[in-house]
Amino acid sequence: MKGLIVFDWDGTIVNEPEFSKKWFSGTLDEVIKKERGEEGFRVLQECRKNFNGKGELALFALDIPYREWAKEMIDASLDLIKPQPRLVRQIRELQVKKVIFTGTPVKLVIRMVEKIGFTRQDFNLIIGWEEPEWFPIKWNCSPLVFRYILNKFQINPQDAWSVGDDWKTDLKPAQVIGMRTAKIGKLGGKPTLCVPSLQEFLKHIKGGDKDGGDD
């Protein structure tokens, strides 16, 4: 079946609050305090308050290269990441191209992919932060990357989904170019579909949404 799904990573395929608290939020706190002190930490708190919990935007505001944070994340312990055999099976069964598009470092994503139970080959493409990028390309909130993905796999926008938990970065840029969008968890924006979990989206696809790449 010709189709494509672009998955966000954190909060979509991976939803492990304790891991996020320790290795994303915790390391971000440490990096900003180290680089900019208490004033930097104040900016971090303001970003979390005003931008839907996205404290990482403080790096941009404080002119701290993302790589400083990435160095702390890439070698994170994965003890808090649990295997998800059911999710792995559900995604493998999808007869579509599968892409991960995230702001997380690619090296960390690949380690987590394997810990969850996937292989690298389960995804046709993984786009995340890599050197020498100053900041993740996803933070641009641009439709250009989604257009690149469609062109790479020769997929029409109406045959593709973008799935994520953030309207501004995961969904709106894709919807602008005609892709369908599924928002996971919290409400917000104007996606094609809102569902409480990724599993519910996968049930929706498997249940007969032919344009979205069902069996």
pLDDT of residue 188: 84
Question: What does the alpha-carbon distance between residue 57 and residue 122 come to, in Å, rounded to a whole number?
Answer: 31
Max CA pair span of the chain: 53
Does the predicted TM-score (pTM) go above 0.85? Answer: yes
Q: Which burial class, exposed, middle or buried, applies to 102 when counting CB atoms under 10 A from its CB (0-12, 13-18, 19+)?
A: buried
Q: Where residue 80 falls among pLDDT bands split at 50, 70, 90? A: very high
Question: What does the alpha-carbon distance between residue 91 and residue 37 come to, in Å, rounded to a whole number?
Answer: 43
The per-residue pLDDT for range 106-150, each reduced to its tens digit, is 999 999 999 999 999 999 999 999 999 999 999 999 999 999 999
CA distances from 29 to 46, 79, 173 (A): 13, 21, 29
Dig out the tokens for 48 from the structure: 């979390």
**Which of these ranges, 31-40, 107-116, 184-193, has the smallest mean pLDDT?**
184-193
pLDDT at 180 over 80: yes
Instruction: Tell me the pLDDT of the chain averaged across its residues.
Output: 92
Residues 169-175 have a mean pLDDT of: 97
What is the three-class DSSP state of 142?
coil
**Which of these ranges, 55-64, 158-167, 202-211, has the smallest mean pLDDT?**
202-211
